[in-house]
Structure 1
Amino acid sequence: MKILALDATSGACSVALYSNGQTTERFVQAERDHTQRLLPMVDEVLAEAQLGLSDLDAFAVSRGPGSFTGLRIAISCVQGLAFSADKPVVPVSSLAALALGARRAHPQWGGSPIVAMLDARMQQVYWGIYGIEMPNGSLISEAVQNPEQVLLSLSETKLTSTYFGAGPGWHYEALGKARAAELDLNALIHARDIAELAVPLYRAGEMVSAEALEPVYLRNEVTWQKRQKIRS
């Protein structure tokens, strides 16, 4: 199985190739120029593996939530590639990929739940809780909330085991009241984790056509406001 994954959800962009159990990646931490960086990175990864687009089984991309602009860049890029190659796309949760990357970076966290958070601006965060047995699915519905609402939601989930926190969304002072055992505020989303999460989804048939691929924003009013600005 060969899956090419792309991400530009946060302050980084990356491309990864999963090929028969092995994953290679190009990763650049950059707030801008994602549009100019992604396609050359795709070319590099494929050239290194001596593969063409036609050799792939599918593409994978972070479906969100995350930066509106970053999501649109990565999704548009994948749509173009998948359409030209006539291949399906596997949408993967950005938060699930963030959690998997943090688990990979911190093996000492073991199988404990990871609360992944991205800064949604406007004093809110995107967040979810991810266990080791079902890394693609949050233990609660992925949400956009302010820190106080997050604390209330965490108390209502009644997590009985130690949990860890990952992602820049944890920077809000109010979240210091949470009882996370350890935090990694520098955790970022990697395409390699999107690729690895895409493998079981592909096997389960959870893929879409390039035309049907849609981002998940969680905060619909942001989309509406941006569209209104564009129209005006």
Structure 2
Amino acid sequence: MTSLLALDASSSACSVALWMDGHVISRVEHAPRGHTRRLMPMIDALLDEAGIARTSLDAIAYGHGPGSFTGIRIAAGVAQGIAYGLGCPLLGVSTLRALAQSAWQRDGARLVMPALDARLGELYVALYQVEQERLKAVMVDSVMAPDALVLPSCTPGSITMIGSGVTLMDRLSLDIRECIGTTVESREPEACDIAQLAAMDFASGLITSPEEALPIYLRDQVVSSKH
């Protein structure tokens, strides 16, 4: 049996998930500023619930960003520490890709624009399309001002925009706004979606070593965060 632990701390939510041969169990807590204190107890409680020892884990996955600068550093550090201790591989998963996975699996979206408020009037944004029942990146994860965003031509109403970046939707070009048919503002990246994506990456051999655990900021300048 393949077992994979995933964790995320990129937003105000703190979440952990366990993937076991296609079955996922997870825990989510909204704990702004509490990620360091809550992550390890949540992991221990989840493993106890599943009856799985840490030594039985085959890989550790984490949301590598973008998101809260402090939060993604915490997630990378915790994932790295566990992986070092177990001698198992790591998988970093984009939080934007996780949001796209959520929109597909929970809302049936086929063309997804995950977007997070990056502060300073900018968005963390990407575009994913479902092809052959897998997410394919149409536009890679980027950071930019909303009015600088340019997308491939699309059918009006075909895009689902998901994430906190929906609050900046009125700053997008009219062409892009016309393509957005559905918005899901309140959804945040969660470990359950990261676990599913990491399991596919693990099966494809897309793993890294513990020392390669890195947060992905997208922006060189680190700004303050409330998380």
- TM-score greater than 0.5 by the shorter chain: yes
Aligned 1:111-122 pairs, distance under 5 A: 112-122=110-120
User: Is 1:168 equivalent to 2:164 in the alignment?
Assistant: yes
Residue in 1 that maps onto 2:221: 221
Give 1:145's aligned residue: 144
* Structure 2: runs of 5 or more not aligned: none
Q: Partner of 1:230 in structure 2? A: none
Structure 1 or 2: larger strand share? 2
Classify the secondary structure of the residue corresponding to 1:26: strand
Distance 1:89 1:50 in 2: 22
Call closer, same or farther: CA 1:15–1:114 in 2, change over 3 Å. same
- After superposition, where does 1:1-232 map in structure 2 within 5 Å? 1-107=2-108, 109=109, 112-133=110-131, 135=134, 137-150=136-149, 153-154=150-151, 157-160=152-155, 162-172=158-168, 173-175=170-172, 177=174, 178-179=177-178, 180-222=180-222
Letter in 1 for 2:154: L
State percent identity of aligned pairs. 36
- Alignment RMSD: 1.7
> Counting helix residues as a fraction of each chain, which structure ranks higher?
1
2:7–2:16 contact (8 Å) kept in structure 1 = yes
CA contact (8 A) 1:167 1:188 kept: yes
After TM superposition, give the deviation of residue 135 of structure 1 in Å: 4.7
- 2:171 partner letter: A
CA apart distance, 1:68: 0.6
CA offset digits 1:173-202 (Å, max 9, x no partner): 313841200100111111010000011111
Q: Give the residue type in structure 1 aligned to 2:58.
A: D
Q: How many angstroms does 1:103 deviate by? A: 2.3
Single out whichever of 175-184 and 197-206 deviates more from structure 2. Answer: 175-184
State the alpha-carbon separation in 2 of the partners of residues 105 and 51 from structure 1.
27
Is contact 1:96-1:135 (8 Å) kept? no
Equivalent residues, number: 217
